[in-house]
Amino acid sequence: MNSIKVSILVPAFNVEEYIDDCLQSLMHQTLKEIEVIVVDDGSTDKTGKIAEKYAALDKRFHVVHQSHQGVATARNVCLSLAKGKYIGFVDSDDYISENGIEELFLCAETHLADIVLGSILHCFEDGTCQRIGDKSFNQRLYSEPISGKHLFKVLIEVGEYTPMVCGNLYKLAFIRQSQLCFEAIFHEDEFFTPYVLYFANRVICANHDFYYYRQRANSIMNIGTNLRERSGSLYFISAKLTEFAKSNIASEEIKQAFLLHASSLCSRAQHLYEKELYRSSKRCLFIITEHSIANQYGIGTYIRQLTQCFNLVEWDLNVIVLHSVNKRIQWKMEEGVAYYEIPMPDELLYSGLPLYEQLYCKGVFYYLVSRLQLPKEVYCHFNFTSHYYLALLFKEKMHAKIIFTLHFTDWSFDLLGDQDWLKRILANPAGRKEKRLVDAFEREKKFMHECCDSVIAIARHSYDMLKELYDIPESKLAYVPNGLRDEYRKRNADECRRVREKYGFKEKENLLIFAGRLDFVKGVMELIEAFKQVLIEMPDTKLIIAGTGNFTHCLDVAKPCWSHIIFTGFIPREELFELYAIADMGIVPSIHEEFGYVAAEMMMNELPVIVNNTTGLKEIVGDGEYGTVFDFGKDKNIRALKDRIVDVLTCNEKEVYAREGRSRVLKEYSIQDFSEKIVGLYSLYGKSMQN
């Protein structure tokens, strides 16, 4: 029979000044059937030696020494070693009254509780104390057990929720059965407490003071050097709790309590981040994008890769998503980068007037700048020419350096990238549509000339076009092709067979894949028409279309061959790469493409590609040297695409194209080269600003 009633778990790190008080208070507990487990978390002072002294005096004390890994890991080690029926946590700079553990234990036994919640006294350096965790707002809550999830809801509603594990008692069997542990981050109590309450069936509140929580100016939560890390931890906890609540909690009232708490954690995370941002001496970069389908695909990928180019020790990175569909500003943090999604107020949203767009940009500008302590070295990286007013504000009022990446031009969609056609229209516009194209061209040119310090071309043909058509001086131009992170994993024949079985494809079926938006400029309708002709000659063939967009039109074009065409919708990269692994070829039939990221991604995954003879795509495959090129022509010759598909499926050179295509991407479009060129460009501006 287990004679240990309570295991007291004490993580300790560099607290030689306080740990004596802590361990003395534990040694003199009126409940004698206890064990005290101290984990010395790599202390560099005498903390470990003091703990060993108590272990030598009292066999109930056990000391474990480990390299410094943080409070969460130390607590998890304590949990793994605990042998008591119940466990309690005590921080090594705190202390408890001599009857505290016994009162909690008796309360737990009397009420058969999974958890006993106590209250604590915050003890300040001037000798004053303040009670925290008072549950006396409702006598019933601490006179009889209730479920933890219901208690959580009530505590949130009345503002008495205290996310601290110290001062409480937990049944060890319940903790282990629920597989609960601490996450190795800051604010580990914030992570642990909602889940432990959710899984507990019987919780009792013991409303008496026994735990003395020492408030130290130099404690890890009070020093100001870790605000960014704490912000990241709080956002991580918020995101995980939101996901958990939406996926697991059936009761709408309880779910809303958890979501409300998650939202408050996110707000705290934003506050800590902006507090650090305000006092930061780092260079500040705002990467400006907007809510759009393009942001979900190619431009979104570009921005994710752009954020990975910068050393966060030297930079504060913020991604600003304009025209968000949310009702209010949303904030999040991913991998140390802050994201702001900023909606347009309803009264401005539907007006369509340029004046209202200016008002919106002005509001965005002052919202962002108010988070900076001026003067500040600010950079803005724009991705849409439509953000002229915001760029101008940053340039004129903040003297910010403005960098712009040209991902597309408005006129290209209407004229399919035909520059000669555009030149004729610019020389003599006829009709409303052509005048609209001229206006769009002039707006793009104005943005680049008046706002931008540097314009990045992602393809050589784009570089030439910017120089010749937009009159951008070469001193302002930079050629930085998109880069791809090498995420390719070669699969053997057995793995590919299993993946085919997973998605319901036969081993001998020919598989073609298209990835991207279901948009007229992507050529997906023409691809479906060509595929229907392929089926006449090669009926054992299927076409996978991975992406979102105009499904209705695509399905209409696909009939009656629906059983041969699979629409996946938008899918995660892991699943997309699995489909690349089992496909026989990738097809990128875009009518116009500035770069052709999807084609490069397919080639990186050692997938033979067929591309339309348009500028960006033709450049990717080296004019047909590293992939197959077909030409729609001005009349959109479907047969040309169909013939190339049949040729590639029946030829013996697919593996050669696959290997050489991958080699080209690794050589010409590596993420390392992309990163070096971006960093080099920004370094030039850093030097000029310092001078």
Residue ranges at the known binding site for ATP = 642
Helix (H, G, I), strand (E, B) or coil at 171: strand
Give the residue numbers of the binding site. 642
For residue 389, CA distances in Å to 34, 256, 363, 466 come to 68, 39, 11, 21
d(CA 661, CA 511): 19
| Long-range pairs, 495-501, Cβ under 8 A, ≥24 | 495/581, 496/581, 496/582, 499/578, 499/581, 499/582, 500/582
Phi first, then psi: give them for residue 204, nearest 5 degrees. Answer: -125, 145
- Given the DSSP bridges, would you call strands 203-214 and 95-96 parallel, antiparallel or unpaired? antiparallel
- 310: tokens are 């910068």
Give buried/exposed letters for 526-536 (b at 16+ CB in 10 A, else e). Answer: bbbbbbbbbbe
Q: Which of 148, 1, 170, 161 is nearest to 78 (CA)?
A: 170
3-state SS of 369-421?
Answer: HCCCCCCCCEEEEECCHHHHHHHHHHHHHHCCEEEEEECCCHHHHHHCCCHHH
d(CA 242, CA 530): 45
d(CA 486, CA 620): 16
Edge-to-edge order in the sheet of strand 541-546: 565-567, 541-546, 510-515, 585-588, 609-612, 628-630
Tokens 């309360």 correspond to what residue? 107
For residue 520, CA distances in Å to 365, 516, 523, 549 come to 35, 11, 6, 10
Q: In 193-282, which ranges are E strands?
A: 203-214
Residues 240/232, Cβ–Cβ less than 8 Å: no
- 406: tokens are 């040209």
For residue 174, CA distances in Å to 1, 79, 87, 170, 203 come to 18, 12, 11, 8, 12
Give buried/exposed letters for 37-56 (b at 16+ CB in 10 A, else e). Answer: bbbbbbbeeebbebbbebee
DSSP H/E element including 264: helix 252-279
d(CA 47, CA 377): 44
d(CA 383, CA 391): 11
Using left for φ > 0, alpha for ψ between -120 and 50, and beta otherwise, residue 563 falls in alpha
Using left for φ > 0, alpha for ψ between -120 and 50, and beta otherwise, residue 569 falls in left
Give residues with Cβ within 8 angstroms of 84, minimum separation 6.
2, 4, 5, 6, 7, 34, 35, 172
Tokens 């076009």 correspond to what residue? 465
- 82: tokens are 């605990």
d(CA 269, CA 510): 50
Q: How far apart are the first and last CA of the chain?
A: 76
Which amino acid, one-letter code, is at 380? C
DSSP H/E element including 174: helix 172-177
